[in-house]
Structure 1
């Protein structure tokens, strides 16, 4: 049997094998897959470039904690559209020309950015108040101007409402070129000011100390937002434009901790959202393109939320489980070692050393029976403990070495908390448990130098408190004979 090539498959001749797929729908899918229609290529390319540019700019607004600035500035562009339509003919331009309308939107957006910076500089007003004032005032003025425009015969035919909700299907080649040029300009500005914008987002005080002007950098960031908002009005509209600035950057945050990688991932997510959203809106003609693009972007966000390599829910859950298992293992080994140490001190004879019983270990911490059994099984599988003929838990040689290391770290931190943090000896055991699992070798060496100047390096210091289960005196030192062979 001859397998049809991709062109035949995409053109729809292979679709009759799929039950329930109508012929017109098959033809539409096939033409979209091959980008047969000129308008399809223009719209998909424009939406892809818009998503790419908005994703990159959105990273800085998100890290600068200015995510809602994009919402305020997108609404601030609306009065510029109305004014450009009304005043364009007075200056000799066609009021319905897209370049004239977008120029008016850009001018209005820049005015909104300046208004935000001015209101924020006032002594008793914070940024959230500035955003609320600018958004409501400018959007109200825009709605009033559009109402006036709609009352004229030319205004009713202009279709200015598409700048509110978006209409990517009406995008032309000139619009796509404008989006491409604006996206290139935004990328160039980001590349030239990458260091200064990075300092602005992460350490504003250090940026000011290095001689950077914080107001100018904020104005540059808002200018980038205005640029992206201006070219996104037709594709997704001013209401949904905030989603293209925030969602790709927020999704990229789950995948990496490096800014330049975050920029690439955010741009990729934004571009993929624009591409898939434009394709879906072309397949399902009754769905608005802006809403479909944003919903596609939201789907990618939730996938990143679940599967992100750095901050995804599943990855963090697995890391927490692994950390919890490691902490339980360390507590088990340390508990066995300290029970043996206390047995030697209590009896005063090496021959009295004994294995740790299950009930003794169970009483050390708030472990359940099943949890303790699982810990013992895991430690046994790792070659750290073994069960003797009486059913008690013994440390292997490898387990002894690991337990001594853990006890050494734990008691160093206990001594530090008692000596330098004034933590009571009766409480220091639990306080040390909270931090001992992440002590680095360099910190251990510094603690030894600070606290154990009279002891050999690596020697286990005495417990500063009584060990549970035995009447040992606080401060007693474990003898070398108390260690397991």
Structure 2
């Protein structure tokens, strides 16, 4: 505990803890709408598609700035989104297969570009491969500030447009009928997911950032049937996962923040799967046993009341 308290007093550790917590909060909130629209694989696709954008941004600017990486990865994510839409519209390929094609193609291109950068004549390309698995400790003050601002913007947009996102997620036909621009809100949701993926790449990594978006939302679904409560619980689970990963990685040497954050989110999912108040396995079994007991008692009472007229008839016949 003394070591942990000493670490929390370190200004660098405080910045990393705040940024990872805000990242988990925003990712958990955005992930709810993606999960409800059955687009869980889209987060993984956008995360892998961001790698070539990061490499191209570095090749053009020659600097490792989170702002340039955000722009490059965002453009790559938008290109991947349009690529998925083009494949599904102009062929018989289903949406999930199109996402798999785009995911593998963009990630393969990213690996090729990353190899070219590593063996090229760039002077500061060292550490660029850390974006595959994330390295929160490498973030400087400007990176943390950018990540925090973007995370707060994502949370604010979801707060002010919660009603629209809720209606589009559950009943897009009705939303279109009352005059809502459904296509605009769908693209806006996709853009927010792209931004959430991009800002989380440096802390969690390309490969693992999708888990931080989807796992808290799935965990929150086991605790409630209301979307508002689900969004809040998912954000809390994401924030806890980010804070736990940051603290756990700082207590020992050579422990990466991204995998520990994902493991913390997975542990929360395991607890939700077992103990969730709405869909947890243990709770559902207890409810099922209670229903069986109540139905059994009902049958016994019904049989007891049904036997009374039969006894009365037998007595009358005997008389």
TM-score (norm. length: structure 2)? 0.94
Per-residue Cα deviation, 1:362-388 (whole angstroms, up to 9, x for no partner): xxxxxxxxxxxxxxxxxxxxxxxxxxx
* Aligned-partner Cα distance in 2 for 1:180–1:351: 89
TM-superposed deviation, 1:105: 0.9
* Aligned-partner Cα distance in 1 for 2:76–2:163: 29
Q: What does residue range 364-379 of structure 1 map to in structure 2 within 5 Å?
A: none
Please say if residues 224 and 230 of structure 2, whose CA atoms lie closer than 8 Å, have aligned partners that are also in contact: yes
- Equivalent position to 1:308, from 276, 295, 309: 276
Which protein, 1 or 2, shows the higher relative CO under an 8 Å CA cutoff with sep ≥ 6?
Answer: 2
Runs of 4+ in 1 over 6 A off after TM superposition: none
Q: Partner residue of 2:316? A: 349
Q: What does residue range 203-222 of structure 1 map to in structure 2 within 5 Å?
A: 203-222=171-190
Per-residue Cα deviation, 1:242-289 (whole angstroms, up to 9, x for no partner): 110011111111111111111111111100111111000000222211
Q: Partner residue of 2:125? A: 157
TM-superposed deviation, 1:344: 4.7
TM-superposed deviation, 1:160: 1.3
- Say if 2:57 is the partner of 1:84: yes
* Aligned-partner Cα distance in 2 for 1:296–1:131: 27
- Say if 2:292 is the partner of 1:317: no
Q: Partner residue of 1:31? A: 6
* Aligned-partner Cα distance in 1 for 2:65–2:141: 14
Which protein has the larger Cα radius of gyration, Structure 1 or Structure 2? 1
Q: What does residue range 376-455 of structure 1 map to in structure 2 within 5 Å?
A: none
Q: Partner residue of 2:89? A: 121
* Aligned-partner Cα distance in 2 for 1:166–1:329: 58
Q: Partner residue of 1:232? A: 200
Please say if residues 81 and 104 of structure 1, whose CA atoms lie closer than 8 Å, have aligned partners that are also in contact: yes
Residues 187 and 111 of structure 1, relative CA distance in 2, 3 Å threshold: same
| Secondary structure of the structure 1 residue equivalent to 2:122 | helix
TM-superposed deviation, 1:103: 1.4
Please say if residues 50 and 271 of structure 1, whose CA atoms lie closer than 8 Å, have aligned partners that are also in contact: yes
TM-score (norm. length: structure 1)? 0.63
* Aligned-partner Cα distance in 2 for 1:261–1:166: 30
TM-superposed deviation, 1:50: 0.3
Aligned length: 319
Residues 276 and 343 of structure 1, relative CA distance in 2, 3 Å threshold: same
* Aligned-partner Cα distance in 2 for 1:305–1:350: 60
Per-residue Cα deviation, 1:382-414 (whole angstroms, up to 9, x for no partner): xxxxxxxxxxxxxxxxxxxxxxxxxxxxxxxxx
| Secondary structure of the structure 2 residue equivalent to 1:249 | helix
* Aligned-partner Cα distance in 1 for 2:46–2:96: 13
| Secondary structure of the structure 2 residue equivalent to 1:239 | coil
Q: What does residue range 167-316 of structure 1 map to in structure 2 within 5 Å?
A: 167-316=135-284
- Equivalent position to 2:17, from 9, 30, 44: 44
Greater shift, 131-140 or 231-240, is seen at 131-140
Q: Partner residue of 2:48? A: 75
* Aligned-partner Cα distance in 2 for 1:244–1:330: 47
In angstroms, what is the RMSD of aligned CA positions? 1.9
* Aligned-partner Cα distance in 1 for 2:303–2:156: 60
* Aligned-partner Cα distance in 2 for 1:258–1:155: 52
TM-superposed deviation, 1:343: 4.9
Residues 337 and 103 of structure 1, relative CA distance in 2, 3 Å threshold: same
Per-residue Cα deviation, 1:143-175 (whole angstroms, up to 9, x for no partner): 111111111142673321111110011122212
TM-superposed deviation, 1:302: 1.1
* Aligned-partner Cα distance in 1 for 2:317–2:271: 59
Residues 214 and 130 of structure 1, relative CA distance in 2, 3 Å threshold: farther
Please say if residues 219 and 268 of structure 2, whose CA atoms lie closer than 8 Å, have aligned partners that are also in contact: yes
Any unmatched runs of 5+ in structure 2? none
Please say if residues 42 and 171 of structure 1, whose CA atoms lie closer than 8 Å, have aligned partners that are also in contact: no
Q: Partner residue of 1:60? A: 33
Residues 75 and 37 of structure 1, relative CA distance in 2, 3 Å threshold: same
